[in-house]
Amino acid sequence: MPLLVMKFGGTSVADLERIANAAQKVKREVERGYDVIVIVSAMSGKTNELVGWVEETSPLYDAREYDVVVSSGENVTAGLMALTLQEMDVPARSWQGWQVPIQTTSAHAAARFVDIPRENIDQKFAEGMKVAVVAGFQGVSPEGRITTLGRGGSDTTAVAFAAAFGAERCDIYTDVDGIYTTDPRISTRARKLEKIAFEEMLELASLGAKVLQTRSVELAMRYKVRLRVLSSFEDSDDNSGTLVCDEEEIMESKAVSGVAYSRDEAKLTLVTVEDRPGVASAIFGPLAEAGVNVDMIVQNISEKDYGGRTFAVTDMTFSCPTNQVARARKAMEEARAAGQIAYEELVEDTEVAKVSVVGIGMRSHTGVAAKMFQALASEGINIKVITTSEIKISVLIDRKYMELAVQALHDAFELEAGA
């Protein structure tokens, strides 16, 4: 019997009416001949409420008990979904993480998958169960304690189950009808993509696109799990939504498939750092230890005269999320006080944004960077930092120009026109 994984996010199961709507979609797939594994999130807003209760009860909480409380939201949804399906005469039952069991590491609130044994669920399918409703976002540690996977963990749960059970496809139901060339709230000319390659989706997710969680895309790419992103609130067929798939399934690609942005970026520059072997390690080692997520890095080497002698120096620029600036500053000040590095000053710019163009077509198309830079220049937008990869070009610009930059790049690469 072919198997399908269907995942419903918080907005898709926000109340009993929406759970019933989602259950109808599941029933339709059962009637088409599929066995179905349904992965559910907590009802919209419930996880935040549970986290708030934990923090109010115990500001310095035990992470193991945090996971017990926070994982309960998915358990409620799983039970309600199973009951709803039973009322529709669909043989279904709910599964909590420990019942599968979903085996994870012991890193509470940030656990990773170790294994998903198939035996228990396969046995129930053999006995006539048609739908296994699994609570997403959770598992069980080697010590037998409940664990959670971090925000967005239900997406990752769905992909992991699709990989473990060899599912034909993993459908991610959400409040948008697919993946767009850019944010439709910024550009009214944004176009829904029929297909997008795993690598492109991974870049877009890591660069700010919120449709899929980055870890879920990484897992899908590793195990070749075909993902489909579609809306819970619209009627769907086999051509609905956007398919995230292997590059070989896409016949021809434009140079650029999408434009992504990240609003809350900061640019920090260490001015006049001694240019010597090991200086980069002396800077980025303490930043890593402080938990600072460094993204773009640029090094400018120059010379400076001290008492008639010339020394090689460098300015080291890097970007990080704005909410990590204080942490980065503290790490650099402590490293300087400990004699690990020397610099004249740390210059902070917290009014920047990152805008990126992404596309596997960049491998075979030339002139992408030139067209991008010309489009920004024609709008009077100055570029502060540039980084590139094989399928991505990212720039750091003044935040006030972010939406203008997104629109200009979307138009320059004619993304509204399709392939």
Identify how many contiguous H helices and E strands the chain contains and give both numbers: 12, 18
**7 has binding-site annotation:** yes
The rounded distance, in Å, linking the Cα atoms of 333 and 328 is 9
**8 has binding-site annotation:** yes
User: Is-contact 198 45, C-beta < 8 A?
Assistant: no
The H or E element spanning position 123 is helix 119-126
Q: Provide the 10 A C-beta neighbour count for residue 235.
A: 8
Sheet containing strand 138-140, edge to edge, reads: 113-115, 103-104, 138-140, 146-148
Cα separation values, 268 from 58, 237, 276, 279, 315, Å: 35, 48, 20, 16, 10
The H or E element spanning position 284 is helix 279-289
**166 has binding-site annotation:** no
**208 has binding-site annotation:** no
Residue 407: φ, ψ to 5°: -65, -40
**125 has binding-site annotation:** no
**10 has binding-site annotation:** yes
Please identify which residue in the block is written with the tokens 């997406």.
Answer: 155
The residues pairing with 295 across neighbouring beta strands, listed in sequence order, are: none
**175 has binding-site annotation:** yes
Max CA pair span of the chain:
88
Q: Provide the 10 A C-beta neighbour count for residue 237.
A: 7
Cα atoms in the 13 Å half-sphere on the side-chain side of 150 = 13
**380 has binding-site annotation:** no
**185 has binding-site annotation:** yes
The residues pairing with 172 across neighbouring beta strands, listed in sequence order, are: 7, 229
Instruction: Give residue 355's identity as a one-letter amino acid code.
Output: V
**418 has binding-site annotation:** no
> What residues contact 371, with CB distance under 8 A and at least 6 apart?
412, 413
Cα separation values, 150 from 78, 214, 360, Å: 18, 12, 29
User: Is-contact 177 240, C-beta < 8 A?
Assistant: yes
The H or E element spanning position 329 is helix 325-337
DSSP state of 233: T
Binding site: what residues are annotated? 7-10, 47, 74, 174-175, 180, 185, 210-211
**Which residues sit in the known binding site for substrate?**
47, 74
Residues of the binding site for ATP: 7-10, 174-175, 180, 185, 210-211
